Amino acid sequence: MRKEVVMEQAWIHGGNAFKQLKVWMRSLFFQYGLLIAVVGFLLGRAMILAELAPFALPYLAAIYFLKKERVAIAAISLVLGALSSYHGQALFIAIAIFSYVIIYKLTTRFATDSARSLPYMVFGASILTRVGMVFLVEGTVSQYVWMMSTVEAGLSFILTMIFMQSVPLITQRRFQQPLRNEEIVCLIILLASIMTGTVGWAFYDVTVEHVLARYLVLVFAFVGGAAIGSTVGVVTGLILSLASVASLYQMSLLAFAGLLGGLLKEGKRVGVGLGLLVGTLLIGLYGDGGSALSVTLLESLFAILIFFLTPKGFIYYLARYIPGTAEYSKEQQQYLRKIRDITAGRVEQFSTLFQTLSNSFQASERVSTEEDEEREMDYLLSNVTEKTCQTCFKKERCWVKDFSKTYDSMQRMMVEMEHQGEIKDQVLMAEWKRHCIKPDKVIHAIDQEQQQFQANQKLKKQVMESRKLVADQLLGVSRVMGDFAKEIQREKEAYYYQEEQMVDALRTVGMEVGHIDIFSLEKGHTEIEMSVAYQGEGHCEKIIAPMISDLLKETIIVKKEESGFYPNGYSHVSFASAKQFVVNTGVSHVAKGGAWVSGDSYSTIELDTGKYAIAISDGMGNGERAHLESNETLQLLQKVLQSGIEETVAIKSVNSVLSLRSTDEVFSTLDLAMIDLQNAETRFLKIGSIPSFIKRGDQIIKIEASNLPMGVFQEFDVDVVNEQLKPGDLLIMMSDGIYDAPKQIENKEMWMKRMITEMNTDKPQDIADLILERIIRQGQGDIEDDMTVIVAKVEQNTPKWSAIPLYKSPHLFRKQTQKAAFS
């Protein structure tokens, strides 16, 4: 046991030492500029076409502009690298650096944008230094010198723009933004240029630049795939071939190895290494022939060995910034999830805020006790005595010697006046007149205080009702925002397998499908989007939707179709689960006296929550004003219901708007039916409206509730009636103009039931027309009020198109779907 503890402590100390070493190395490379010195040393050695050194000056210019405090390290390392090289360009690099600094100092005094003029300064410093040195040594400048100097300065011009983008990627400790394709290419050019500085380094005929180039291709092919791998191979091989013309075939080898390695990346590192070996064998035989094949293979094996020894963390770190990689997608998903969680958190904060406000307004009704009543009585009596007895000369006799008699008499008078409005007890009045010298003044004061007290109580009650109404509204908003926050945080299920299966199934039967996105496969709430080639009107509804219905074993319909949505001419189509029930409606209405404007308004709308709303509102009176009131009531209700707020809270919200909007006594009735299209369960909310009827075969069911019209009170309890509808049921809703029209009939309910029973048709519109016609005929053609009748028929949803089978065993898709959905 003791030995294990010692080993564990040693392991902890070893881990801490490794972390400290790692931190120290990072500080040495990035904070103290060792990485800048190493890169500068290699770029000082780099050379192309056996006589041009275009890398040193652009590197110094980038460091001078981006990290000015490290320019001395960069300059010294460039000169030291040139001194250690074979090309003998140390003097040129030193003078070029000095010339560039002078030109930069002079130019920045006049140039407003030094970054834009940086390549031009490098071009000028390079060509002036090269031509000046040749002129000082030889006394003349030939055309060849001018040509080569211009080529070198031009390459420096281009490399300056490239290094300005790529140098920050290796000199900074970390970079957060993903790399663009241009930045990836610039980084590869910089790394290849650094490798050029290793030209001439060899170990038993194995050249270092070849090993590093192939290692670079292996890393990027493993990270980015075939496209990135082949690009890195071409760029790296091109720069190495410029440095050494004998290595021209290396470009083909690296490009081919990057392509094969990227294609075999599914085999992990072994597959990428195998791609390099295959490329080395094929291109090696074609390039130098069999004589140098063993050396080339040895170089590839060294590169593969270094690749296998590369830490996994470094590969993952690099892959996070290469677009198209799984690590990049994961990083983006984490970023999006973070943004989504922040947004959801803010929405939840608002939801909590509204919940807190609702709790603060939620004042529970205070139960009156005997102590409270006695306290209020004492308060009233004190106000009365202050106005009457305080200045009376008999105050001491009444309130000191005869306190009990005075108090009891005044209390009895207050109770009498509160219940009767006046004092009708003659005995009490006679006793009080014998007891008090100012009886009428006291009774008048009691009456005034009683009226003021009742007004205060009424005002307090209204305030309590308003607080409760505001609390309910805030609570409804809080619930909606809370549900919205949960919807934001809900993770999208990954249905990759089902998407592939669906694409293959549709393409197998000849459907031109671009892509498929499955958002939900929950029974009854399926959501699918796809891009398909346009093949005529109704193609998706008649063919594709039935095929998907067979795959999912539920009825799927086209929810939305946008023709020519994509640039290739494909259409964007949204599919969704069909509802279990459908509602067909018929409406008949007429204004009072046959006028154009009716005070009744109606609305039928299918909500996103899977419910069907039917509403009739009757404004007070007739004509345009009543129409505006009823129509505004329905518009407000429709907007609130579409926001997702529950029906009773929605009606209370609309009622509060109507009651607080104007001091005029303008009221509206509301008859609302909310039908759930999944189970046909219906909620009836009747606000001052007359009964509705349900016809089920020969049976007539009456639906009624007792609620006052909207706008009468700021607070009221909504009486909700629940009823389970069945397929084939007919729902008849009407305004009071229909129900109260037959004046001579006493039992209107029985008469209406008999009239509905006698209808021989089950078509909603025909029934609505027949009811209105019968009512008008019953009144001998007189239309004494606005009349509106809505008939809705609930039917089982029958698919318009039958399912088209695709698989021999289509139930397998549903099993795979359920497995993926609940895993």
Q: Which of 720, 651, 683 is nearest to 476 (CA)?
A: 651
Claim: this prediction has a pTM higher than 0.85: no
- In the numeric block, which tokens belong to residue 458? 């009424």
Q: Is the pLDDT of residue 763 over 60?
A: yes
What's the whole-number mean pLDDT along residues 552-566?
83
What's the whole-number mean pLDDT along residues 161-178?
67
Helix, coil or strand: residue 615:
strand
Percent of the chain predicted with pLDDT > 90? 3
Q: Which of 711, 691, 708 is nearest to 626 (CA)?
A: 711
What's the whole-number mean pLDDT along residues 537-561?
83
Q: Which residues contact 793 (CB under 8 A, 6 or more apart)?
A: 583, 584, 585, 728, 729, 730, 731, 762, 763, 764
- What is the rounded distance in angstroms from the CA atom of residue 236 to the CA atom of residue 817? 47
Residue type at 706 in one-letter notation: S
Q: Which of 161-170, 294-303, 748-757 holds the top average pLDDT? A: 748-757
Is residue 441 very low, low, confident or very high in pLDDT (cuts 50, 70, 90)? confident
Residue type at 415 in one-letter notation: V
The phi and psi torsions of 301 (rounded to 5 degrees) equal: -65, -40
Distances (CA, A) of 407 to 293, 677, 731: 124, 67, 64
Q: Is the pLDDT of residue 203 over 70?
A: yes
Residue type at 696 in one-letter notation: R
What pLDDT does residue 176 have?
Answer: 53
Is residue 329 very low, low, confident or very high in pLDDT (cuts 50, 70, 90)? low
- What is the rounded distance in angstroms from the CA atom of residue 731 to the CA atom of residue 756? 11
- pLDDT tens digit string along 180-197? 767 777 878 888 887 777
Q: Which of 141, 139, 159 is nearest to 151 (CA)?
A: 159
Q: Which of 518, 324, 347 is nearest to 339 (CA)?
A: 347
Own/partner pairs, 690-693, CB within 8 angstroms, 24+ separation: 690/734, 690/735, 690/736, 690/739, 690/740, 691/739, 691/749, 692/731, 692/732, 692/733, 692/734, 693/731, 693/732, 693/752, 693/753, 693/756
What's the whole-number mean pLDDT along residues 165-194?
70
Q: 520 or 811, which is more confident?
A: 520
Residue type at 466 in one-letter notation: S
Question: Taking each helix axis from N to C terminus, what angle separates 439-489 and 426-435, rounded to the nearest 10 degrees?
Answer: 110
What pLDDT does residue 189 have?
Answer: 81
- What is the rounded distance in angstroms from the CA atom of residue 300 to the CA atom of residue 253? 11
Q: Is the pLDDT of residue 169 over 70?
A: no
> Of all helices (H) and strands (E), which one includes residue 602?
strand 600-606
- What is the rounded distance in angstroms from the CA atom of residue 635 to the CA atom of residue 602? 10
Q: Is the pLDDT of residue 438 over 50?
A: yes
Tell me how far apart the 2 most distant CA atoms of the chain are, in Å. 143
Q: Is the pLDDT of residue 647 over 90?
A: no
- What is the rounded distance in angstroms from the CA atom of residue 591 to the CA atom of residue 380? 55
Residue type at 121 in one-letter notation: M
CA atoms within 13 A on the CB side of 446: 24
Angle CA(341)–CA(332)–CA(229) in degrees, nearest 5? 170
Q: Contact 261/222 with Cβ under 8 angstroms?
A: yes
- pLDDT tens digit string along 66-118? 877 778 888 888 888 888 876 677 788 888 888 888 888 888 777 667 777 88
- In the numeric block, which tokens belong to residue 513? 């499908």
Q: Which of 297-306, 363-372, 439-448 holds the top average pLDDT? A: 297-306
Is residue 326 very low, low, confident or very high in pLDDT (cuts 50, 70, 90)? low
What pLDDT does residue 174 have?
Answer: 47
Q: Looking at 221-230, 359-368, 451-460, which range is the least confident one?
A: 359-368
Q: Looking at 9-18, 23-32, 652-661, 777-786, which range is the least confident one?
A: 9-18
Q: Which of 68, 62, 171 is nearest to 119 (CA)?
A: 62
Q: Which of 194, 268, 272, 271 is nearest to 228 (CA)?
A: 272
- In the numeric block, which tokens belong to residue 770? 């027949």
- What is the rounded distance in angstroms from the CA atom of residue 691 to the CA atom of residue 276? 84
Q: Contact 95/128 with Cβ under 8 angstroms?
A: no
Is residue 793 very low, low, confident or very high in pLDDT (cuts 50, 70, 90)? very high
What's the whole-number mean pLDDT along residues 701-710?
71
- What is the rounded distance in angstroms from the CA atom of residue 553 to the CA atom of residue 803? 9
What's the whole-number mean pLDDT along residues 586-590?
90
Q: 696 or 807, which is more confident?
A: 696
Q: Which of 499, 522, 481 is nearest to 610 (CA)?
A: 522
What pLDDT does residue 765 have?
Answer: 92
CA atoms within 13 A on the CB side of 675: 26
